């Protein structure tokens, strides 16, 4: 059976819903609590490659940490990636991966489609 990895924030309702959905589907799951153990830039880039999104596309722009960055609107993708590794709260969640593929599981329908395709 395939082992899915969920990048999980237990305080986020959408993340809890995605984890429950995975558990109910009967798949083996690895849970990464990325707020407790932040991902490096390289690890984040690997996740982005799997979900086929850019750093700016998984950025939570309404968070105080993002708004506190003075030059935030002129940052490059690499600089945004750096900020995501420094401030993991800025990462949109949940993200689910399987091998070399993945999905931003928001809305939950994205996860359902991903599971069906794999």
pLDDT in tens, the chain (118 residues): 679 999 999 999 999 999 999 999 988 999 999 999 999 999 999 999 999 999 999 999 999 999 999 999 999 999 999 999 999 999 999 999 999 999 999 999 999 999 999 8
Which of 2, 11, 12, 41 is an active site residue?
A: 12
**Inter-axis angle of helices 108-117 and 13-24, to 10 degrees?**
30
Spell out the domains of the chain, with CATH numbers in brackets: 3-117 (3.40.30.10)
Provide the pLDDT for residue 84.
96
Query: Does the active-site annotation cover 12?
Result: yes
């Amino acid at each position: 059976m395939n082992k899915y990895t969920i990048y999980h924030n237990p305080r986020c309702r959408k993340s809890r819903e995605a984890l429950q959905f995975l558990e109910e589907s009967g798949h083996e799951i690895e849970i990464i609590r990325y707020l407790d153990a932040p991902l490096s830039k390289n690890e984040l880039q690997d996740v982005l490659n799997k979900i086929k999104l850019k750093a700016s596309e998984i950025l939570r722009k309404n968070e105080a940490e993002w708004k506190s960055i003075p030059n935030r609107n002129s940052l490059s993708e690499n600089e945004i990636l750096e900020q995501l590794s420094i401030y993991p709260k800025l990462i949109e969640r949940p993200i689910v991966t399987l091998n070399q593929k993945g999905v931003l599981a928001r809305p939950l329908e994205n996860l359902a489609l991903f599971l069906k395709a794999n």
